[in-house]
């Protein structure tokens, strides 16, 4: 089972999804339903740091989706 987190902040939707091949985690930036940017990072925590640094998404604001 892979982990998935979501947050909505400043008019955008942010999604972090663990890669099934264990290559790391993907961080998606969405405007509405359309992905406008994505990043492959080493881990979920690195994705959260990137979201905070680049888009000011609060570190403790993420919701875990099951």
| Number of domains the chain is built from | 1
- pLDDT tens for 15-64 read 999 987 778 999 999 999 999 999 999 999 999 999 999 999 999 999 99
Rounded Cα gap, residues 25 and 13, in angstroms: 16
pTM attached to this predicted model:
0.91
pLDDT of residue 60: 94
On whether the CB atoms of residues 16 and 2 are closer than 8 A, the answer is no
Residue 21 sits in which domain range? 4-65
Is 1's pLDDT higher than 70? Answer: no
Least confident stretch, 1-5, 9-13, 27-31: 1-5
């Amino acid at each position: 089972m892979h982990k998935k987190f979501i947050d909505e902040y400043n008019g955008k939707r942010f999604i972090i999804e663990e890669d099934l091949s264990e290559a790391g985690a993907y961080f998606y930036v969405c405007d509405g339903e359309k992905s406008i940017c994505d990043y492959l990072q080493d881990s979920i925590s690195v994705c959260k740091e990137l979201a905070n640094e680049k888009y000011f998404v609060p570190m403790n604001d993420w919701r875990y989706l099951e």
